[in-house]
Amino acid sequence: MCGAKAGGPDLAGVDVASETIIQGSVTRDGEPVSGYVRLLNEGGEFTAEVPTSATGQFRFFAAPGNWTVRALVPGATVDRKVVASQGALTEVPIAV
């Protein structure tokens, strides 16, 4: 997926109104970071994991609710708590 929209991958062709989307990018000193991003449910249990793109971007399609997004990159682990809603794009910029 190329091109950024609101910090995450391009949303062309995605019906945002019918999805619950959590996306963003991982950066260090303003530059993209390669690594992995995990999605943990409200109880802290592992739900999914994706690698960041070459531009540090990631995206999850999830259920509405409370989530933790965890960036795992060389030298750092950063958690962000988010509340995702159907039909709304949840942006999660992560600086490590």
**Residue-wise pLDDT tens digits, 1-57:** 333 344 567 777 777 788 899 999 999 999 999 999 999 999 999 999 999 999 999
Residues in CB range of 50: below 8 A, 6 or more apart = 36, 37, 58, 59, 60
Q: Where are the domains of the chain?
A: 4-95
| pLDDT at res. 25 | 95
17 phi and psi angles, rounded to 5 deg: -65, -25
Average pLDDT over residues 63-69: 97
| pLDDT at res. 8 | 66
| pLDDT at res. 41 | 97
Task: Let me know if 94 is exposed, middle or buried by CB neighbors in 10 A (0-12, 13-18, 19+).
Answer: buried
Indicate the pairing of strand 21-28 with strand 89-95: parallel
The answer on pLDDT for 96 being more than 60 is: yes
CATH architecture assignment, domain 4-95: Sandwich (2.60)
Residue type, 65: G
| pLDDT at res. 61 | 93
